[in-house]
Chains A and B, each alone.
Chain A
Amino acid sequence: MPPSIQALTHTYFRHNKRFPHVWCPGCGNGIVMGALLRAITRLELEKDEIVLASGIGCSGRMPTYLDFNTLHTTHGRALTFATGIKLANPALNVVAIMGDGDATAIGGNHLIHAARRNLNLTAIIINNSIYGMTGGQYSPTTPFGSTTTTSVYGHIEHAFSIAELAVTAGASFVARSTVYHAALADQLIEQAMMKPGFAVVEIISNCHVQYGRRNKIGNAVEMLTAFKEQAVTVKKAATMEQKELQGKVTIGVLADRDLPVSTDEYKKIRERARAAQEES
């Protein structure tokens, strides 16, 4: 039995924080936050050993509410701060929470290099295909042809596939879920936090206020229903033709590989440096 929402709230919400939160009713961010908390509960991690670092945007507010070591950084830079934290204290379990614009536009360079570098970090990217907080402008994951406040005549750029990008950039673990598939999201986050090396979980989410409404997909329920219909498991996707996969979202684990983890490799560097100094 997963812990009740009430139990999660009582255990992990900050009692000295003024609520309500900033998210709109029906926002997928809450589902992702719940998934993260359920994963942490199952892993039996201490609050003191967890650092939750975010960037800017709606997703950036998540750390504010939770009783961990929390950090709300600058736009796109969550992974850079997380890198410094992890290297300075490798005992900490560092999770970066980002949005699609945050992680792949302004922070795109940091994302691919964090994946290549392969520190023992977890990145959760909430992908709602839009800049929600600033009023619904197109992001790197906005689908071709969509309407946004900066593409009222139709969006003419192509969308990034965040998870595929992370696979190519070299992350040890890459997975994708949607906010409809909340139980899968729990599992994937748990696996990501356990995985040595850089782990990315992309969670497709709904911004019905800025995206769904404008693109006639509808409200939160209708957007979640759409995710249900679009989702195809990795296993099933492998049996499908490229043409059949158009407009589908592959969910599950896209990459799980054992690569040297630079947080561990650096221990060897320290030994080599000490040996070299003793020799001289």
Chain B
Amino acid sequence: MSEEIHARRLLQGNEAIVQGALAARCRFFAGYPITPASEIAEQLSVRLPAVNGTFIQMEDEIASIGAVIGASLAGGKAMTATSGPGFSLMQENLGFACAAEVPCVIVNVMRGGPSTGLPTSPAQGDVQMARWGTHGDHSIIVLAVSSVLDSFIMTVRAFNLAEKYRVPVIILSDEVVAHTRESVELPLKSEVKVVDRIAPGMPPDWYKPYQEDARGVPPMAAFGDGYRHHVTGLVHDQDGFPTQNPQEVEKFHQRLSMKITKGLPDIQLTRKFHMDDAELFVVAYGSVARSAMRAVEEARMAGIRAGLVQLITLFPFPRRTLTPYLQQCHSVLVPELNLGQISREVQRVNQGQCTVVKQNRVDGRLITPQEIYNRLVKLSSGRLS
């Protein structure tokens, strides 16, 4: 048996997502070709059958996520990958996965929008759609990746969260992260923590597929395991059967929301740089976070006490992480490749303590470190002692 060794490899973001999915033991992919996500499908069509998994190219994105949900109900870890237009088509069945509590991972490699938009340019225009795209009140987990290594780590994480909380998890990448090649050292198989859904331990006759327990996440039986049960997108009772009883309907909604709220410390991932003594800070995610990191380093060298909070979990929005810094700092800069989608969230949680400054670019180009640096200098001028 060959010993595992750390090795550096030249990978693009989309390839790292493939590696991450395989490391998380994803065994099913259904998708539809779309730029700039297609490499994920192409590579999984090669890799999955070799590990006894399944790849299928469906007739559209609606069918793709349908097949993913079906595969997950049959016990497999499943994912799909798309970009904005395809993600729009997936919203209906994404809601089904929320309501029926079916773990799955959906990668959206964002490109310019709306509509067909800019297929080969980066953007971050799908942030609020990831949160609110499917109809009805629902909880959802959205992660944003900023690098090739991140693409690997957060894909594993996305599967783990999906399995643990029985929710669809959305990974937002963008055209730049997806297609940038970087030299990375991926964790060894033995270093990757993989979480699997909890199977029911009780006899089949006792199994209530949607019964509330202390964890808020009921055990999940796979079709064919002997735990014959009903799965529906209708509001259902603890047996999985449709209900209109107000008490049961209320309970259904509250548990779906509470199971995520209970897991917040586990779900909300952020990275902090130079925040301890920061007077102003940047909130950034995705490829923009990397420009922000460089800008903050340069601002520090110029004597500006700037910091960065990189958001990995966009939703549920990490309010508790930001609140102390919004009290500590006089300004927060939110650079984004859209007209202000996360700055909305920052403003919402800020409650007037701090000046929230937007920095937006929607021309299909990146926000450069220099642009962010210039804004930091401007924000700090007059405030330096």
Contact = CB atoms under 8 A, between A and B. Distances in A.
Contacts of A67: 228
A10 interface: no
B58 interface: yes
Contacts of B50: 270, 273-274, 276-277
B49 A269 contact: yes
Interface stretch (B231-239, B287-295, B306-314, B323-331): B231-239
A233 interface: no
A81 B69 contact: yes
Nearest to B60: A109
Contacts of A47: 228
A266 interface: yes
Contact of B71 (A88, A272, A277): A88
A84 interface: yes
Contacts of A64: 230, 232, 241-242
A40 B101 CA distance: 29
Contacts of A86: 70
B129 interface: no
A92 interface: yes
A74 B96 contact: yes
Interface in B1-44: 27-28, 30
A102 B69 CA distance: 19
A257 B307 CA distance: 68
Contacts of B62: 77, 80, 110
B93 interface: yes
Interface in A145-192: none
Contact of A92 (B54, B223, B226, B239): B223
Interface in B215-264: 222-226, 228-234, 239, 241-242
A272 B45 CA distance: 12
B67 interface: yes
A72 B99 CA distance: 12
B22 to A, nearest CB: 12
A162 to B, nearest CB: 18
A85 B54 CA distance: 11
Interface in A75-130: 77, 79-89, 91-92, 109-110, 113
Given A68-B228, A113-B59, A85 B49 contact: no
B88 to A, nearest CB: 15
B92 interface: yes
Contacts of B93: 74, 77, 80
A41 interface: no
Contact of A88 (B60, B75, B225): B75
Nearest to A269: B49
B73 A71 contact: yes
A22 to B, nearest CB: 9
A18 B241 contact: yes
B52 interface: yes
Interface string B103-141: 000000000000000000000000000000000000000
Contacts of A82: 70
A83 B59 CA distance: 12
A81 B73 CA distance: 9
Given A83-B58, A84-B68, A109-B63, 12 more contacts: A14-B230, A63-B230, A64-B242, A67-B228, A70-B230, A72-B231, A85-B70, A88-B76, A89-B222, A269-B49, A270-B49, A272-B49
Interface of B: 27-28, 30, 46-50, 52, 54, 56, 58-60, 62-76, 78, 92-93, 96, 222-226, 228-234, 239, 241-242
11 contacts: A48-B228, A69-B228, A80-B70, A80-B93, A84-B69, A88-B27, A88-B72, A92-B224, A109-B59, A269-B49, A277-B50
Going nearest first, the 4 A-B pairs with the smallest beta carbon separation are: A84-B70, A80-B66, A84-B67, A273-B49
